[in-house]
A and B are shown apart, each in its own frame.
Chain A
Amino acid sequence: MSTHGLEPKVVAPDEALPSPVRPAFDSPSTEDGVIVSIGPSHPATHGTLQIIAELSGERLVRTDVHCGYLHRGFEKECEAHTWHTLIPYVDRLNYCSALINDFAYCDAVETLMGVEITPRTRYLRTLLSEYSRVVDHITCIAAAVMEMGAMTAFLYLMTIRDYMYEHLADLTGARVTHSYGRIGGLAHDLPAGWIERLEQILDEYEVYVGRVHGLLDRNRIFIDRSRDVGVLSTADAIHWGFTGPILRSTGVPRDLRKDTPYLAYAELDFEVPVGIKGDNYDRYYVRMREMDESVYMIRQLIELLPEGPINVDDRRCSFPEKPLVYSEIESLINHFKLVMDGPQVPPGEIYLAHEAANGELGFYLVSDGSGTPWKVHVRAPSFVHMGGLHRMLEGYQLADMVATFGTINMIGGECDR
């Protein structure tokens, strides 16, 4: 591979490997203070995150959060792909709810192109976004309560999540990274029997999540571990850029699905659950209630889902029918141009945000009029949340760090990009 005249630095065999981070502090501020480095590879930090903490006994005095261990140059890589072929990268941002990333990105490109998606795709995207939100919240709650010792709840939730992953694999061919969105539509329509299985899974969801409610909601041990731990006020949450369930757990019903409705949300009946004081228990409970609302929305969407085409009839972004590609020259050229050059997006810029499972997921796209993006920037909720994480850790016990970090649901893929 060309190194552009710059040979990679080689670390000599006997040389100590340099630390990738520079701590914000290296001497304790209190008399009995001890500085410890937690992570990046530590059982308590699911996701590669490093926290350099000053401890006074078991109490966290100061914390310095370092992310970036999963950085893979997402934004740089996107500039070397067409608008279409970067969709698999978009999937790998929040890998717990990849479909929401897909649809937010496609929505941004479509708005920039002036493409209006078909009604069936609009409802299907809404349905799948809500389905992904359930999966994402299940993952978060399962991991968070397991770290507090609730192994049974973890297994119940993982069981239902696996039904959902298998079900999504039936639809998209992949359990986690679906790559199902397309500019102007979706990869393909629902397979036969998919909706019937969906209804079965939603019924099973209610059984399993009902058991988790029974195990945890009024459980003395769980409440003692999570009430009044990692408390965040609304003013603090907004100051530090928190969005999504974390902001709602502080007591404000701020939800893009209600405030600036997109896709089919304006036609749906749903509530925005909020917490009381923004502690770990509230974040758990807000997510549990949001899953119920999502399931309620999915049931409405099953009724509303219209028949019709999946992809828009627009040759700037949609591929022509395969038989036409083989039989007429215009469609062949069309297919070739879409593959080789990518969809031609008019020059301009756009910021478009969807309410992802973790908060406001914004795409800032800049096009120079070609088939390759000039810039793809992601406003990833997890990254912004890490900037305010220290507010929820400092002053609490070291063991609470594990629980608090679990209820934040930091996703390394979108945080580090």
Chain B
Amino acid sequence: MSGAEKLEALREKLVADGLEANFAHGLLAVALPREDVLAIATRLKDEFGFDLFLDVTAVDWPERKPRFDVVYHFYSTRDHVRVRLKTTVSEEEPVVDSLVSLFGSAGFMERECHEMYGIKFHGNPDLRPILLYEGFEGHPLRKDYPKEREQPLVRYRT
């Protein structure tokens, strides 16, 4: 069975479970409620061989409710196919389950997403800033964070 056929089989299984799954630019894009992220990611890893966690990030839509998309990408080193999981979280409760119990690589990427968008990953014990620094105020990749805002840690040369 080729990679594309396996992806189609996966799509049929997920659609049978009541999820929305479509092909988009060569990968399978799945939309799901945030409560299901950990369960579906576990199934992807254990049943379907998506063993490489590629990426997690968020997208900010300030006008929309719920405000944030949280987007995950997975790769199967066996079948050479990709899956995207996409869920939505609200500004008031930006919480999703962490995937660190499944993938070690999720640790750093969730730290980055947390500091940049303020998404909290429930179950990740280490959400210290990674690209920013301790004490940084706000979440710079949110659309309402002004690009010009300065928060220096050192004295400016005058």
Q: Please list the residues of chain A having a beta carbon within 8 angstroms of any beta carbon in chain B.
A: 1-4, 6, 8-11, 13, 17-22, 24, 66-68, 71, 73, 75-77, 79-80, 111-112, 238-241, 243, 252, 254, 259-260, 348-353, 360, 362, 364, 366, 374-375, 377, 379, 383-384, 386-388, 416-417
Contact of B109 among A9, A66, A350, A387 (CB under 8 A): A387
Q: Which of B13-21, B35-43, B90-98, B147-155 contacts A (4 or more CB under 8 A)?
A: B147-155
- How many angstroms from the CA of A83 to the CA of B145 in the assembled complex? 21
B54: interface (CB < 8 Å): yes
Residues of B within 8 A of A239 (CB): 103-105
Q: Whole-angstrom distance from the CB of B36 to the nearest CB of chain A?
A: 20
Closest residue to B105 on the A side, CB-wise?
A241
Q: Is the CB of A387 within 8 A of B107?
A: yes
- How many angstroms from the CA of A366 to the CA of B70 in the assembled complex? 13
Contact of A384 among B105, B140, B149, B150 (CB under 8 A): B105
- How many angstroms from the CA of A342 to the CA of B25 in the assembled complex? 23
Q: Is the CB of B52 within 8 A of A238?
A: yes
Residues of B within 8 A of A111 (CB): 25
Q: Is the CB of A241 within 8 A of B147?
A: no
Please provide the chain B residues from 121 to 156 with a CB less than 8 Å away from any CB of chain A in the complex.
Answer: 126, 128-135, 140-141, 145-155
Q: Is the CB of B108 within 8 A of A21?
A: no
- How many angstroms from the CA of A19 to the CA of B141 in the assembled complex? 23
B32: interface (CB < 8 Å): no
Q: Whole-angstrom distance from the CB of A265 to the nearest CB of chain B?
A: 13
Closest residue to A9 on the B side, CB-wise?
B151
Q: Which of A112, A350, A416 has the largest number of chain B CB atoms within 10 A? A: A350
- How many angstroms from the CA of A243 to the CA of B122 in the assembled complex? 27
Q: Whole-angstrom distance from the CB of A144 to the nearest CB of chain B?
A: 23
Q: Is the CB of A21 within 8 A of B59?
A: no
Q: Whole-angstrom distance from the CB of A266 to the nearest CB of chain B?
A: 13
Contact of B59 among A260, A351, A374, A388 (CB under 8 A): A374
Q: Is the CB of B134 within 8 A of A4?
A: no
Chain B's interface: helix, strand, loop or mixed, by majority? loop
Tally of A-B Cβ pairs under 8 angstroms? 133
Beyond A20-B134, A360-B54, A379-B54, is A9–B152 a contact (Cβ under 8 Å)?
Answer: yes
List 5 A–B pairs whose Cβ atoms lie within 8 Å, in order of A's numbering: A8-B150, A18-B134, A67-B130, A68-B131, A384-B109
Q: Whole-angstrom distance from the CB of B132 to the nearest CB of chain A?
A: 6
Q: Is the CB of B149 within 8 A of A6?
A: yes
Q: Is the CB of B135 within 8 A of A18?
A: yes
Q: Which of A111, A112, A353, A375 has the largest number of chain B CB atoms within 10 A? A: A375
- How many angstroms from the CA of A243 to the CA of B75 in the assembled complex? 11
Closest residue to B60 on the A side, CB-wise?
A375
Contact of B25 among A18, A241, A351 (CB under 8 A): A351
Residues of A within 8 A of B126 (CB): 24
Residues of A within 8 A of B26 (CB): 260, 352
Q: Is the CB of B148 within 8 A of A2?
A: yes
Q: Is the CB of A73 within 8 A of B140?
A: yes
Residues of A within 8 A of B146 (CB): 2, 4
B80: interface (CB < 8 Å): yes
Residues of B within 8 A of A243 (CB): 52
- How many angstroms from the CA of A75 to the CA of B154 in the assembled complex? 23
Q: Whole-angstrom distance from the CB of B94 to the nearest CB of chain A?
A: 16
Q: Whole-angstrom distance from the CB of A322 to the nearest CB of chain B?
A: 34
Residues of A within 8 A of B130 (CB): 66-68
Residues of B within 8 A of A377 (CB): 55, 57
Q: Whole-angstrom distance from the CB of A358 to the nearest CB of chain B?
A: 14
Closest residue to A379 on the B side, CB-wise?
B55
Q: Which of B133, B146, B154, B155 has the largest number of chain A CB atoms within 10 A? A: B133
Q: Is the CB of B25 within 8 A of A350?
A: yes
Closest 10 CB pairs of A and B: A241-B105, A387-B108, A20-B133, A68-B131, A259-B80, A8-B150, A379-B55, A71-B131, A240-B104, A4-B146
B10: interface (CB < 8 Å): no
- How many angstroms from the CA of A350 to the CA of B25 in the assembled complex? 7
Residues of A within 8 A of B112 (CB): 383
- How many angstroms from the CA of A179 to the CA of B14 in the assembled complex? 42
Q: Which of B57, B108, B151 has the largest number of chain A CB atoms within 10 A? A: B108
Q: Is the CB of B57 within 8 A of A67?
A: no
Q: Is the CB of A241 within 8 A of B140?
A: no
Residues of B within 8 A of A375 (CB): 57, 59-60
Closest residue to A391 on the B side, CB-wise?
B104
- How many angstroms from the CA of A68 to the CA of B112 in the assembled complex? 10
Closest residue to A17 on the B side, CB-wise?
B154
